[in-house]
Structure 1
Amino acid sequence: MTDWEGPTERGFRPEDEVRVEVSREELARRLASVRAAIEEACLRAGRPAECARLLLASKNAAPAQIRAAYELGARLFGENRAQELKAKAPVLADLAIEWHFIGHLQTNKVRDVLRYASVVESLDRPALAEELHRRLQREGRTLDVYVEVNVSGEPTKHGLSPDEVPAFFDQLARYPTLVVRGLMTLGPNAEDEARARRAFRTLYELRERLRREGYPNAPLEELSMGMSRDFPWAILEGATLVRIGTAVFGPRLP
């Protein structure tokens, strides 16, 4: 395992987990493999070859690794923790990264996240919507958000149940600073294609229902679903954005 080095990145250290850094050549190989798998899944689904964008989930990835991935063509990166986003984004500010916040967001961390993230993918409760709106209104701007839905029903996952989503969308009409670009979910914790695809199909069908009902300020173009273990199945069920970490940066180590 190497230290995380670099003229502007040396100060960053994760508190509990790290990833083993890989060479630029290995990073390039992994990125190419994931991109090829995305294209193959899109074509299998009868969709255009670039039907799903790649977001690199960079939790505990060294800033130097993020920089290398950027130089290899990656532009979207997602962080799960406000403190990591706050630590990494400034030292990578010379890059045109589009940062997404993809983890559970506490209301007391909203200010830090809004400073750097272009998109919050984990909007899951009225209190968070209210706090985001309050700060955005003060700053005179809007924010793209995805509503997080727990389609698997697993208690370890955050997000609204599918049945709760329509009422939540009614509440979001109060917050015009929040532009609801789409829905987000995590697939079930199982290597079962049929079960995973049912969960992803549930999110797709929910998105289509919401579109038909025509909620204000909710274009709902995006479905963020699928990670390293299940992203091809998510694409087959309509994903437009896949969040890949382990398949590119490698596993996190205790």
Structure 2
Amino acid sequence: MGNSVEENLKMVRRQIALACERSGRNIADVQLLLATKTVPLDKLQMAVQAGERWFGENKAQELRDKYSLMQQSKEVEWHFIGHLQTNKVKDVVKAVTMIHSVDRLKLGQALHNQLVKEERTMDILVQINTSYEESKFGATPEMAAELVESLSRFETLQVKGLMTIGKLNATNNETRQCFRLLKQLSIQIKEKNIPRVAMEQLSMGMSGDFGIAIEEGATIVRVGTYVFGPRYVPDEYYWNENTEIND
């Protein structure tokens, strides 16, 4: 994307509106979440100036740095959208209003323990690996309902829906099937009437496929490169990522 952040945002907003029109949906039911992985602060501030308020970060260290630098923007709401390790829970919980990537019971337990200490609750989405790719995190579709039910037993966690990432290097139809499956799972889980489980949100769709995601029911689309341009990834970013403890 060679345009300014503001121009890119206008283009993305137009595409969201067109996808809603194609699928007969109300544009007010789709929330744009700006994915900020490796995005410098000046570009984030441009997005704030353009009226954006929802930001999603993939890395705990980046979230900590950006959150402290952007605290003057009181209206900004941070979400965590990357793989979360249990040893990073404390930092993340302090900064966000929702975690999109709860993919295992162990993480739910760690979140609960921290939230009990802070005497608060947290909205979460349960990540599902709808493409069955080994490179991705997330519960299998077959285990989705069981994981949601187990997480719902933690009174500090409010399960608001599901999250997925579309199949990598896929055809539009393959991507659509991933999103359609997530929607079907949300309907099945909602019918179980599990306490503290709402199934209100479907976080799916990124820069290359958010139009398809909206057509299949996404309520939150996570868009980064279409707004901010190609990611700049310094060498130390890979070092930090590769040396983190994986639980």
Same fold (TM over 0.5): yes
CA distance in 2, matches of 1:231, 1:247: 11
8 Å Cα contact 2:131-2:167 kept in structure 1: yes
Q: Which residue of 2 aligns with 1:92?
A: 70
Q: How many residues are treated as equivalent by the alignment?
A: 232
Matched, 1:31 2:1: no
Q: Which residue of 2 aligns with 1:229?
A: 208
Residue identity over aligned pairs, in percent, reads 43
- AA at the equivalent of 2:129: N
Q: Which residue of 2 aligns with 1:174?
A: 153
CA distance in 1, matches of 2:232, 2:46: 21
Q: Which residue of 2 aligns with 1:59?
A: 37
Q: TM-score with structure 1 length normalisation?
A: 0.89
Matched, 1:107 2:86: yes
Match of 2:180 among 194, 201, 208: 201
User: 1:204: Cα distance to partner?
Assistant: 0.2
- AA at the equivalent of 2:121: T
8 Å Cα contact 2:152-2:197 kept in structure 1: no
Match of 1:156 among 123, 126, 135: 135
- Please state whether the residue corresponding to 1:145 is helix, strand or coil: strand
For structure 1, the 5+ residue unaligned runs are: 1-19
CA distance in 1, matches of 2:38, 2:223: 13
Matched, 1:116 2:95: yes
User: 1:173: Cα distance to partner?
Assistant: 2.9
- Please state whether the residue corresponding to 2:28 is helix, strand or coil: coil
- AA at the equivalent of 2:60: A
Q: Which residue of 2 aligns with 1:82?
A: 60
Q: Calculate the aligned-residue CA RMSD, in Å.
A: 1.3
User: 1:115: Cα distance to partner?
Assistant: 1.1
User: 1:170: Cα distance to partner?
Assistant: 2.3
- AA at the equivalent of 1:210: I
8 Å Cα contact 2:129-2:139 kept in structure 1: yes
User: 1:26: Cα distance to partner?
Assistant: 1.1
Q: Which residue of 2 aligns with 1:49?
A: 27
Displaced runs of 4 or more, over 6 A: none
Q: TM-score with structure 2 length normalisation?
A: 0.91
User: 1:191: Cα distance to partner?
Assistant: 4.2
- AA at the equivalent of 1:46: G
8 Å Cα contact 1:39-1:50 kept in structure 2: no
User: 1:222: Cα distance to partner?
Assistant: 0.3
- AA at the equivalent of 2:220: L
Most deviating of 168-177 and 99-108? 168-177
User: 1:253: Cα distance to partner?
Assistant: 3.6
CA distance in 2, matches of 1:64, 1:213: 45
- Please state whether the residue corresponding to 1:166 is helix, strand or coil: helix
Deviations 1:46-99 (Å, cap 9, x if unpaired)?
111333110000111111111110110111000000000001101100112110
CA distance in 2, matches of 1:57, 1:210: 27
Q: Which residue of 1 aligns with 2:46?
A: 68
CA distance in 1, matches of 2:38, 2:149: 36
Matched, 1:125 2:134: no
For structure 2, the 5+ residue unaligned runs are: 234-247
CA distance in 2, matches of 1:58, 1:145: 19
